[in-house]
Structure 1
């Protein structure tokens, strides 16, 4: 069972951003459980945290610990 990690992505500001972040995570972490909440700027996922953070950065956003 994988642990869930939550990151804050403050520069995620619209529905397009949500889609971009979700797609980046889906590609980096196939089969992971992913939840993206625009209102709180939080992204939760299962799987490798370092790989997820790198994918979010590559997509142009800034993940931060919650």
Structure 2
């Protein structure tokens, strides 16, 4: 796996949003570890950054990569 990337996803506001994003990432990056901090609106995932960002966007959200 590649280094983890963290995205700020300001429009991820509830458990349904979290589930949708987790599902999108599991389809785009099977087996990749995903951590979600709903309170901070952040998603951390290991794997291809571009694929992860595209998966989140295609799920209807607006990810912005952040430095951690």
TM-score bracket, shorter-length normalisation: over 0.9
Equivalent pairs counted in the alignment come to 66
For structure 1, the residue ranges without an aligned partner over 5 or more in a row are: none
Stretches of 4+ moved more than 6 A in 1? Answer: none
For structure 2, the residue ranges without an aligned partner over 5 or more in a row are: none
After TM superposition, the score normalised by the length of structure 1 is 0.95
User: What corresponds to 1:65 in structure 2?
Assistant: 65
Shift of the alpha carbon at 1:65?
1.8
Q: CA RMSD in A?
A: 0.8
Query: Partners of 2:17 and 2:53 in 1: how far apart?
Result: 15
After TM superposition, the score normalised by the length of structure 2 is 0.93
